[in-house]
Structure 1
Amino acid sequence: MRPDTLTELCHKHGIERPPDTRGKSFPDFSPFARCYIAVCECLREEGDLRRLVFEVAEDSAKSGAFWIEPALSLELYADRFGGPEKTLCMLLAAAEDAEDATGVAIGFIVAAERHMPVEKAEALARAVKNLAEGGAAKIKGRDGIIGFGLHGAEVGNPPEPWKEAFKIACVAGVVPLPHAGEYPPSSAPGAGPGSVQFCVDHLGARRIAHGVLAAEDDGLVAHLATLQVCLDICPTSNQLLGTVRGPGLQSPLKQFLEAGVPCTINSDDPLLFGCSLLGEYERCRQE
C-alpha cells in the first residue's frame, strides 16, 4: 500500500493513521505486527481492495516486474467483506482488471495468522479449497491462488497446529508457502532454523518466505539445497527487524546461493519498510 493511500483511506473511514515506519528499525516483531494489523483496519469497502490491488500492480510495473505474488492476510479483514470466499472473489476480479491496466500478472498467496485461532485458519483453508477445486480461483484462466501461507511471530507459535489447514488448502495447484526462519534468532521450539525444518519436512514446503535463519545450521542449508527448497529473501525487512545484524545488508543470500539453495529477492512490505522491489535488487547487487 502506498503511504498516501493509507492516509486517504484512514481519513475516509475515520481511523487513526498508523505511524510512518519507513526506513526505521523495529525493536522486535511485536511493534511491526501492530502496525501491520492497524494498516489492515483501513480496508473497509470493495473499492479499497480494488485500489490496493491496482496500485500494487502499478508500482510493481515501475520496478520492471511482470509477475507478482502478494500475500493476503485475509483473517484480518475478510469478515468485513462477507467472509474469505467473497473477499477472495473480489480480489481475483480486481487482479484481472489490474493486469489489463498494467500488464502485471498476479498470483495470490492466502495466509493464516499465527496469533489467530487455528479454527479460523482451517476455515480459510476450506475457502481456498472450495474456490480452487470449483474452478473459481482463476485470473484470466490461470490459477489465481498459488500458495497457502502462515504469517506472524514464530516464538510461541510453532507451525505444527496449522498442519491440518495446509493439508486442506494445498490442492488443485495451491502449494504450501509458509513464513519461517524470519524472526527472531532463537533456539525455542518452532522458531529459528527449527521452524524452517518443520515446514519443509512436515508441511511439504518447497518454498519458504524468508528462511534466513536457516543459515545458522549448515546441515539444514545442505538439506534445503538437496531438496531445492526456494527461499524468498527480503533483505531490508530482515535488516530492519533485526534478524540479520551489522553494517550494510548482512544478508545470507550469497551463502545460500553458493550452497546451491535457490532464492528469490522480494520487497516484503514496502509501506512499513520503505523499500521497493527494484531497490532490493539494486541493494543486493551493490552490497
Structure 2
Amino acid sequence: MTAAEVSGPASARPPAPPTTARRDLSALPKAHLHLHFTGSMRHATLLELAARDGIHLPDALVEDWPPQLSAADEKGWFRFQRLYDVARSVLRTEDDVRRLVREAAEDDRADGGRWLEIQVDPSGYAARFGGITAFTDLVLDAVADASRTVGIGMAVVIAANRTRHPLDARTLARLAAQYAGRGVVGFGLSNDERRGRTADFGPAFRIAERAGLMLVPHGGELLGPESVRVCLEELHADRLGHGVRVAEDPALLEQVVARGVALELCPVSNVALGVYSDPTSVPLPELMSAGARIALGADDPLLFGSRLAAQYSTMRAAHDLTDDQLAALARSSIEASRADDTTRAGLLAEVDRWCDTIPA
C-alpha cells in the first residue's frame, strides 16, 4: 500500500497541493493521550534526583540509556517493570512530583502538544505521599499549576494495575469518580495485559462509567485482537491504550471504527518491546485506511527515549505519510481527547492554520 492510498480520519479539508517540502512536526498542534506518569520523566531529571539521594541506577538507565527492551516473554516484561520501579523510586518529595509534571508539560508544549492527559496509578506512590487521596490531590494541584505556567491544557487519567487484585481497581475507580469533573477525566487499566483476567475488572469500570469518566484500558498490544474484544465487551472501552493489533482482525477493526473507539498508538514503544520488528511493520496505514480514530502517544519516553513529536516523525519516515495525513492524525487525537468543546474547536483551528503554512 502506498502513502497515496492511505486515507486518514475523516476531514472536510481539501488536500494541499503536492510538495516535496515538509512542515515542522513540532509546530503541528496535537493532543497527547497516552503518557504514563513516571515514564514521562526527563532522563536528566532521573539522573539528578538519583544522585541527590544516593540512589544507584542500573546501567540501562545511565550509560546504556535508552535501555534495550523486549516484552516478548515474562522475563522481558519483568525487566521493563523493574526499570520503571527504579525510576519511580527517585520521586521523594512534593517538589519532585511538581517538577515531573511541569517538565512533562514543557516537553509536550515544545513538541506541539496543546492538550495532555497524563496517566497515573496513585497506589504506586501512596506509601511515600500519605495515601492515594493525598497523592491524587498533589498530582491534580501540580497539573493545574503546570497547565497555567506552561500554557497547555492538562487532565489526569487514573489507572488500575492488572497485576493487582480487581478489588484494588474498584478502590481506584471510586477515587477517580470522586474527582470526576475536577481534573480527572478517565479511568484506565495498565501493566502486562497477559496477567490476570481483564473481564474481572469490569465492576471497577462500571463505577467509573457511572461517574461519566472516559474508559481507557490498555489492550491489543502484547496480546492480539481478542484482548481488544474483551476490552470492548467487558470494560466498555471508549479508547484503547495501544489497540494496534486490532489490525489483525478486519471484522473487529470494523466494529472499533463503527463505535468510534480511539486507538492510542505508541509506535516507538511497540517496536522497542518487540511487538513489531521495525517502524515500517507498525500497521498504521491499514488502521488509517479503515477509518480508525488514532492518537499517537509516547507511552514512556524515559524508557523508550522518544517523545511526542518523534512518534509523528517516525511514522512519517516509515510510511511516507504526507503532511495532510499527519494533520489528520493530529485532528483525530484532539477529537478523541476530553478537552472541552471550546478548547477542541480552537485546537482544530490551529491544525488548519498549520496546514495553511508554506512548507520551508
**Aligned residues with identical type, % of pairs:** 37
1:49-88 superposed matches below 5 A: 49-88=97-136
Q: Kindly indicate whether structure 1 or structure 2 has the higher relative contact order, using CA contacts under 8 Å at least 6 residues apart.
A: 2
- The alpha carbon displacement at 1:262 in A equals 0.9
The one-letter amino acid of 1:227's match is R
Residues 171-211 of structure 1: CA distance to partner in whole angstroms, max 9, x if unpaired? Answer: 4431110000121xxxxxxx421111111112111210101
Q: Any conservation in 1 of the 2:279–2:315 contact (CA below 8 Å)?
A: no
Residue in structure 1 matched with residue 242 of structure 2 by the alignment: 210
- The Cα RMSD (Å) is 1.6
- The alpha carbon displacement at 1:7 in A equals 1.4
* TM-score normalised by the chain length of structure 1: 0.89
104-113 or 24-33: which moved more? Answer: 24-33
- The alpha carbon displacement at 1:115 in A equals 1.4
1:48-127 superposed matches below 5 A: 48-127=96-175
Q: Matched residue of 2:134: which SS? A: helix
Q: Any conservation in 2 of the 1:23–1:240 contact (CA below 8 Å)?
A: no
Residues 228-270 of structure 1: CA distance to partner in whole angstroms, max 9, x if unpaired? Answer: 211000000000101112x443211111111111111111111
Q: Matched residue of 2:83: which SS? A: helix
- The alpha carbon displacement at 1:37 in A equals 2.0
Residue in structure 2 matched with residue 149 of structure 1 by the alignment: 188
- The alpha carbon displacement at 1:23 in A equals 6.2
Residue in structure 1 matched with residue 316 of structure 2 by the alignment: 285
- Say whether residues 1:254 and 2:298 are aligned partners: no
The structure 2 residue matched to 1:13, chosen from 44, 53, 64, is: 53
Residue in structure 1 matched with residue 216 of structure 2 by the alignment: 177
Residues 156-176 of structure 1: CA distance to partner in whole angstroms, max 9, x if unpaired? Answer: 323112111111223443111
- Say whether residues 1:4 and 2:74 are aligned partners: no
| CA–CA distance in structure 2, aligned partners of residues 15 and 165 of structure 1 | 36
Residue in structure 2 matched with residue 22 of structure 1 by the alignment: 66
Residue in structure 2 matched with residue 141 of structure 1 by the alignment: none
The structure 1 residue matched to 2:79, chosen from 31, 49, 68, is: 31
Residue in structure 2 matched with residue 163 of structure 1 by the alignment: 202
Q: Matched residue of 1:271: which SS? A: helix
18-27 or 263-272: which moved more? Answer: 18-27
Cα 1:89–1:171 shift into 2, 3 Å: farther
Cα 1:15–1:169 shift into 2, 3 Å: farther
- Say whether residues 1:237 and 2:276 are aligned partners: no
| CA–CA distance in structure 1, aligned partners of residues 119 and 280 of structure 2 | 24
Residues 8-38 of structure 1: CA distance to partner in whole angstroms, max 9, x if unpaired? Answer: 2223333322432426332532211221122
The structure 1 residue matched to 2:255, chosen from 223, 228, 237, is: 223
Q: Any conservation in 2 of the 1:208–1:231 contact (CA below 8 Å)?
A: yes
| CA–CA distance in structure 1, aligned partners of residues 301 and 227 of structure 2 | 25
Gaps of 5+ in 1: 139-143, 184-190
The one-letter amino acid of 1:261's match is A
Gaps of 5+ in 2: 1-40, 319-360
* TM-score normalised by the chain length of structure 2: 0.71
Q: Matched residue of 1:178: which SS? A: strand
Q: Matched residue of 1:68: which SS? A: strand
Q: Any conservation in 2 of the 1:6–1:17 contact (CA below 8 Å)?
A: no
Q: Matched residue of 1:199: which SS? A: helix
Q: Matched residue of 1:9: which SS? A: helix
1:127-146 superposed matches below 5 A: 127-132=175-180, 138=182, 144-146=183-185
Q: Any conservation in 1 of the 2:267–2:279 contact (CA below 8 Å)?
A: no
| CA–CA distance in structure 2, aligned partners of residues 61 and 123 of structure 1 | 33
| CA–CA distance in structure 2, aligned partners of residues 53 and 32 of structure 1 | 22
Q: Any conservation in 1 of the 2:176–2:186 contact (CA below 8 Å)?
A: no
167-176 or 154-163: which moved more? Answer: 167-176
Tell me the matched-pair count. Answer: 270
| CA–CA distance in structure 2, aligned partners of residues 117 and 13 of structure 1 | 32
The one-letter amino acid of 1:114's match is R
- Say whether residues 1:276 and 2:320 are aligned partners: no
| CA–CA distance in structure 2, aligned partners of residues 155 and 149 of structure 1 | 16
Cα 1:9–1:119 shift into 2, 3 Å: farther
The one-letter amino acid of 2:89's match is E
The one-letter amino acid of 2:66's match is R
The one-letter amino acid of 2:102's match is F
